[in-house]
Structure 1
Amino acid sequence: MTYTVFIDGAEGTTGLEIAQRLEGRAEFDIIRLSDAERKDPDCRRTSLNFADFAILCLPDDAAREAVAMLDADSGTRVIDASTAHRTAPGWIYGFPELVGPSVVAGAKRVANPGCYPTGFLALLAPLVRAKLLPRDWSYSVNAVSGYSGGGKGLIARFEEEGDIAFRSYGMSLDHKHLAEMQKNAGLQYPPVFAPAVVPAFRGMLVEIPLGLSAMRTAASADKLRAELARYYADAPLVTVHEDRPAELLLRADEPASDRIDLWVMADEAGTSARLVARLDNLGKGAAGAAVQSLNLMAGCDPLAGLRV
């Protein structure tokens, strides 16, 4: 069976990545609009309601507008790559490894996770669920991403100015990712989030430092690692590493990937640990996650079109 797919926002960074992954796949017929048609609300409305699947690669307000264009009896199933619906009632969080592949497969409305939350939740959510780390701790997150995660404006800034070595942001401590991090990890408090951008096009490192000796109920680093390995044993896109490398690198020419790698580092005394995730902000952190959800919803091979 062939399904029609409309990528609303197909000219953006994430939309282009999704289209590349769907190129040449017989299961999907992509609805393509001209520049003029993309700006015509009636053309967008028709495409949204005609498609079997709509993938929204839009700013938050435009994503909400697109959902409002769907008729009450529309059969269109939606994957929203924006932040707009990640904690909204009636939407499934599109992280199959956390919510279950069958849950995503049966969903009509799927909210794609954010790139930073993907790393944070992949590390922390299973450990909190297993009660190996406390839900009532004030966690912090240190993370760096390639500049493609900021969209066309930030891409232009990094490539045109050429001398930005490090960009720290989110200084108001009210980043839009906090709500989905807190909710999907089951935490009592939102984390303290310190995001930054480095002069690499893609790729990211997400780290959660842990003062294990200060926590009332924390398990040892070995037990944390073992639980992550058990939890992701059947997850083909997730690798839990046993080694403790002296350094982890992001390179300026980081290759595209839809995988995520996890590490648990600890000091010799076992008093402190660092949970670290490495992923592609445009892969498992955006386009790859959307294609993974689309595959499940369409009943296709979950890894089809992914870079594994």
Structure 2
Amino acid sequence: MATRLFIDGAAGTTGLEIRERLAGRSEFDLIVLDDAQRKDEAARRDALHAADIAILCLPDDAAKDAVKLAEGSGTRIIDASSAHRVAEGWTYGFPELIGHAAIANARFVSNPGCYPTGFLALVAPLVRAGLLPADWPYTVNAVSGYSGGGNALIARFEAEGAPAFRAYGYDMAHKHRPEMRAYAGLEHGVIFAPAVVPAYRGMIVEVPLHLGAMTGDPTADRLRDALSEYYRESEVVSVCTDSSVPEILLESSAPPSDSMTLQVFGNSGGWHARLVAVLDNLGKGASGAAIQNLNIMCGLPETTGLRL
């Protein structure tokens, strides 16, 4: 029997991508509201209660309201917003870090943020292994395609006179910071420096490290080897073993992808390293992650329908 699925916010960027990935999949029976019903509270409540699983592709406050509308039902929820990423009772939807079983058995799953996906994939396994310190003041430098900012930012970057580069987050209070700290097991919040470039999709997340100032003699080779072993069986996350790559590019016309590649670069003296994650902000950073979690929650192969 097909799983009844409702996407609340199906007209947004993430919602549209999820629907595209689900097209033709017989395992799911989509509950679809027409344009007149999409913002009707009663229609949304009925859809949320009728669904086996609902995926919320909404702003934070609207996602919280949707969870309230679903109260009294047995509907399982995947929330693609940042509203519940560190909330009690919610499972963080990063199977490579949290574990597939935790997500398979969860009722409430919160999709990771796009930038935290790259940061956590790089740092969390190394902190857990004791190769990087939990009390280090980590910095995250990252650039993303403009689609991650929603319709308003898409329109801004596709208009005449669009910016060539947009840096933001200067209040040091970006909403992604709490999940970075929490799921990497850090004692301090990170310094997060995000930016947007004129490419529709794609993302590079970088964590620079001053290894020579750390105890335990960490080296780039040890970090790379540890990440390679950690993700050895993953079909979604891969670790590049070639440290001689001269440059990393975001292509303005890059095709959609739900995979993520990690790289570790170090200087000849061993004092410095740069950890780099390359992913699609709309793929593993959003809709691809939601589909991966959906598959796991439904007992399906986790990569079904993914673009890898």
Q: TM-score normalised to the size of structure 1?
A: 0.99
CA distance in 1, matches of 2:138, 2:225: 21
Indicate the residue corresponding to 2:149 in structure 1.
150
Is 2:184 the partner of 1:185? Answer: yes
Amino acid at match of 2:256: A
Report the alpha carbon displacement of residue 100 of structure 1 after superposing the two structures with TM.
0.7
Indicate the residue corresponding to 2:231 in structure 1.
232
CA distance in 1, matches of 2:52, 2:162: 45
Classify the secondary structure of the residue corresponding to 1:123. Answer: helix
CA distance in 1, matches of 2:108, 2:17: 21
Indicate the residue corresponding to 1:2 in structure 2.
2
Classify the secondary structure of the residue corresponding to 1:257. Answer: coil
Indicate the residue corresponding to 1:37 in structure 2.
37
CA distance in 1, matches of 2:161, 2:128: 43
1:23-102 to structure 2, matched below 5 A, reads: 23-72=23-72, 74-102=73-101
After superposition, what is the alpha-carbon deviation per residue over 1:84-120, rounded to whole angstroms, capped at 9, x for unaligned? 0000001000000001111111110000000000000
Q: Identify if the C-alpha distance between structure 1 residues 210 and 109 changes in structure 2 by more than 3 Å, giving closer, same or farther.
A: same
Classify the secondary structure of the residue corresponding to 2:37. Answer: helix
After superposition, what is the alpha-carbon deviation per residue over 1:239-288, rounded to whole angstroms, capped at 9, x for unaligned? 10111201100011111100000000000000000000000000000000
Amino acid at match of 1:283: G
Amino acid at match of 1:278: V
Amino acid at match of 1:46: D
1:203-242 to structure 2, matched below 5 A, reads: 203-242=202-241
Indicate the residue corresponding to 2:111 in structure 1.
112
CA distance in 1, matches of 2:236, 2:215: 33
Q: Point out where structure 1 has 5 or more consecutive residues left out of the alignment.
A: none
Classify the secondary structure of the residue corresponding to 2:186. Answer: coil
Q: TM-score normalised to the size of structure 2?
A: 0.99
1:128-147 to structure 2, matched below 5 A, reads: 128-147=127-146
After superposition, what is the alpha-carbon deviation per residue over 1:215-243, rounded to whole angstroms, capped at 9, x for unaligned? 12351111100100010001111110111
Report the alpha carbon displacement of residue 164 of structure 1 after superposing the two structures with TM.
1.2
CA distance in 2, matches of 1:156, 1:162: 11
CA distance in 1, matches of 2:43, 2:63: 16
Report the alpha carbon displacement of residue 44 of structure 1 after superposing the two structures with TM.
0.3
CA distance in 2, matches of 1:213, 1:52: 52
Q: Identify if the C-alpha distance between structure 1 residues 225 and 254 changes in structure 2 by more than 3 Å, giving closer, same or farther.
A: same
CA distance in 2, matches of 1:243, 1:255: 23
Classify the secondary structure of the residue corresponding to 2:118. Answer: helix
Is 2:250 the partner of 1:260? Answer: no
In 1, are the aligned partners of 2:156 and 2:162 still within 8 Å (CA)? no
RMSD: 0.8
Q: Point out where structure 2 has 5 or more consecutive residues left out of the alignment.
A: none
In 2, are the aligned partners of 1:147 and 1:197 still within 8 Å (CA)? yes
Aligned residues: 307
CA distance in 2, matches of 1:225, 1:252: 28
Displacement over 6 Å in runs of 4+: none
Query: Larger deviation: 294-303 or 78-87?
Result: 294-303
CA distance in 2, matches of 1:102, 1:89: 18
Identity %: 60
In 2, are the aligned partners of 1:140 and 1:191 still within 8 Å (CA)? yes
In 2, are the aligned partners of 1:203 and 1:280 still within 8 Å (CA)? yes
In 2, are the aligned partners of 1:133 and 1:218 still within 8 Å (CA)? no
